């Protein structure tokens, strides 16, 4: 991928650009203050997402996954408020719907 992107950058003829090589050892330390997202994408279709809009697993109805992993990408802003709002919605769904009638909420 680096080679492809380097080729694209050269074709754009910028005044300068830099390619940084990664070492063989990956370290999470530089990313501890970033907001990594993805992995358990939320959506309305089980074919394209892992959890439904209540953050409930499509495959295992008693599994709820709350966190920034529910976002397909980082919007460029701190996701904490949105994660909190979705956690509140998930808790409400569990308490007021799921516990009374266990099964899919969506």
Say what the alpha-carbon torsion angle 62, 89, 96, 48 is, to the nearest 10 degrees.
Answer: -40
CA-based nearest residue to 56, from 82, 96, 100, 87: 87
**Please, what is the Cα angle at 41 between 22 and 87, to 5 degrees?**
115
DSSP for 65-84, please give it. --SGGGSSS--SS--HHHHH
pLDDT tens per residue, the chain (106 residues)? 888 999 999 999 999 999 887 777 877 777 777 777 889 999 999 999 999 999 999 999 999 999 999 998 887 778 889 999 999 999 999 999 999 999 999 9
- Tell me the pTM: 0.68
SS3 48: coil
> Is residue 86 a contact partner of residue 70, using CB atoms and an 8 Å limit?
yes
Q: Which of 25, 35, 73, 97 is catalytic?
A: 35
> Is 35 among the residues known to form the active site?
yes
């Amino acid at each position: 991928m680096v080679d492809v992107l380097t080729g694209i950058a050269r074709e754009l003829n910028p005044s300068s650009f830099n390619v940084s090589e990664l070492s063989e050892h990956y370290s999470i330390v530089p990313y501890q203050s970033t907001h990594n997202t993805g992995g358990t994408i939320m959506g309305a279709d089980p074919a394209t997402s892992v959890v439904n809009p209540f953050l409930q697993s499509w495959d295992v109805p008693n599994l709820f996954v709350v966190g920034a992993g529910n976002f397909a990408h980082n919007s460029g802003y701190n996701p904490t408020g949105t994660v909190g709002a979705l956690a509140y919605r998930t808790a409400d769904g569990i308490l007021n719907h799921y516990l009374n009638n266990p099964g899919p909420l969506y």
